[in-house]
């Protein structure tokens, strides 16, 4: 059986012709991110901001979430969010942190118990204090920074310093733009979002390294070929792999987003957006950055042909 080919032959898309437009679009997305972060910041969830999380199960059939939301909304507890959690009888209730310390949180829990009555079973009650939330912000940010630096050092070790810096800047763009999406739309930023960002970083660098590896091979193969044409050829040679990997991953994530329920919707939504941005950055940011970082051929180049493949650089 012959393997399925996304392209019948290596395409000849003039990516380098649009490198300035790609970098300009990346800059615009970063500008929107910074403005949104300064103006309205992030909508931190209870994980970071502090508050009370209550998991209940209805003992009288499927939970009537709209009625429960109306009941709890009238208690004057501030922001109260409800969502189905697994089965249609299970509900996750999030209540913002109350002023007055732990005593005030307990009063809020008692008020919720009284309002819901005996028709529910309480399966879990957790309180996240502001100190714990601040520690999560600090350690979560540290995890992202250390992950990105580790990736840069690895790429630097395996390739050249230009590749390491290019990979780091590309990753930084992807992470900031995903954070910017949550800021612009004021989506809840939780620990699951942070996990999605770390996943996006790993996925994005995978695409970037594949392209960088092909560029390195072609640098050794073509001794005098113009670097713009060489990078363009490398992008075209890896395009099928890039699109197939992103496409199949997106199919799985779209299914999870549509049918996985609200519990993982923010996580999968962040991954979907991150993979689209990561694919864009691998093509239109990581490679042009190499050229701007004064990419050079290795000194120990083997003899090879110098002609550009047909259709490239025309």
Tell whether the torsion through CA atoms of 247, 251, 254 and 260 is positive or negative: negative
Instruction: Report whether pLDDT(182) > 60.
Output: yes
**Is position 9 within any domain?**
no
Q: How confident is the model at residue 28 (pLDDT cuts 50, 70, 90)?
A: very high
Q: Are residues 156 and 84 in the same domain?
A: no
- 84 in helix, strand or coil? strand
- Do both 219 and 140 map to the same domain? yes
Q: State which H helix or E strand residue 144 sits in.
A: helix 130-158
Domain encompassing residue 247: 15-42+132-292
Contact status, residue 304 vs residue 5, Cβ threshold 8 Å: no
178 assigned to some structural domain: yes
CATH number at residue 99: 3.30.70.3400
Alpha helices in the chain (DSSP H): 19-39, 46-49, 65-73, 101-116, 130-158, 161-184, 191-221, 227-259, 265-284, 286-292
Ramachandran angles phi, psi of 212, nearest 5° = -60, -40
Residue 305 has pLDDT above 70, yes or no: no
Tens-place pLDDT, residues 92-143: 888 877 777 777 778 888 888 888 888 888 888 877 766 666 777 787 778 8
Residue 8 belongs to some domain of the structure:
no
pTM recorded for the entire structure:
0.75
pLDDT at residue 314 in the model:
44
- C-alpha 148/C-alpha 191 separation (Å) is 18
- In angstroms, the CA 87 to CA 135 distance is 32
pLDDT at 4: 55
Same domain, 178 and 240: yes
3-class DSSP state of 52: strand
Q: Does 228 score more than 70 pLDDT? A: yes
Residue 261 has pLDDT above 80, yes or no: no
Per-residue pLDDT of 186-218, as tens digits, reads 888 877 888 888 888 878 888 888 888 888 888
In a domain, 203, yes or no: yes
**What is the separation of C-alpha 294 from the centre of its chain, rounded to a whole number of angstroms?**
29
């Amino acid at each position: 059986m012959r393997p399925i080919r996304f392209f019948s032959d290596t395409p000849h898309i003039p990516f380098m012709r649009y490198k300035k437009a790609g970098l300009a679009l990346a800059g615009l997305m970063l500008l929107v991110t910074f403005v949104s972060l300064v103006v309205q910041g992030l909508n931190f969830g209870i994980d970071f901001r502090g508050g009370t999380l209550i998991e209940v199960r209805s003992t009288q059939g499927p939970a009537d979430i709209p009625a429960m939301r109306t009941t709890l909304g009238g208690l004057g507890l501030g922001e109260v969010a409800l969502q189905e959690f697994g089965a249609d009888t299970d509900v996750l209730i999030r209540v913002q942190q109350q002023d007055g310390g732990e005593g005030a949180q307990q009063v809020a829990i008692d008020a919720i118990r009284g309002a819901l009555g005996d028709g529910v079973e309480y399966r879990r009650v957790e309180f996240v204090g502001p100190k714990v939330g601040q520690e999560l912000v600090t350690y979560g940010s540290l995890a992202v920074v250390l992950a990105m630096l580790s990736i840069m050092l690895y790429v630097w070790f395996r390739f050249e310093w230009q590749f390491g810096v290019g990979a780091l800047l590309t990753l930084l763009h992807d992470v900031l733009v995903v954070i910017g999406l949550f800021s612009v739309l004021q989506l809840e930023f939780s620990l699951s979002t942070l996990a999605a960002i770390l996943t996006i970083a790993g996925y994005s660098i995978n695409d970037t390294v594949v392209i960088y590896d092909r560029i390195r091979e072609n640098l050794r193969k073509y001794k005098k070929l113009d670097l713009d044409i060489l990078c363009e050829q490398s992008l075209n040679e890896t395009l099928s792999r890039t699109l197939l990997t992103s496409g199949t991953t997106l199919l799985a994530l779209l299914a999870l987003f549509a049918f996985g329920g609200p519990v993982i919707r923010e996580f999968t939504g962040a991954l979907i957006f991150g993979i689209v941005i990561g694919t864009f950055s691998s093509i239109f940011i990581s490679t042009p950055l190499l050229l701007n970082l004064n990419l050079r051929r290795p000194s120990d180049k083997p003899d090879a042909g110098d002609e550009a493949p047909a259709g490239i650089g025309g």
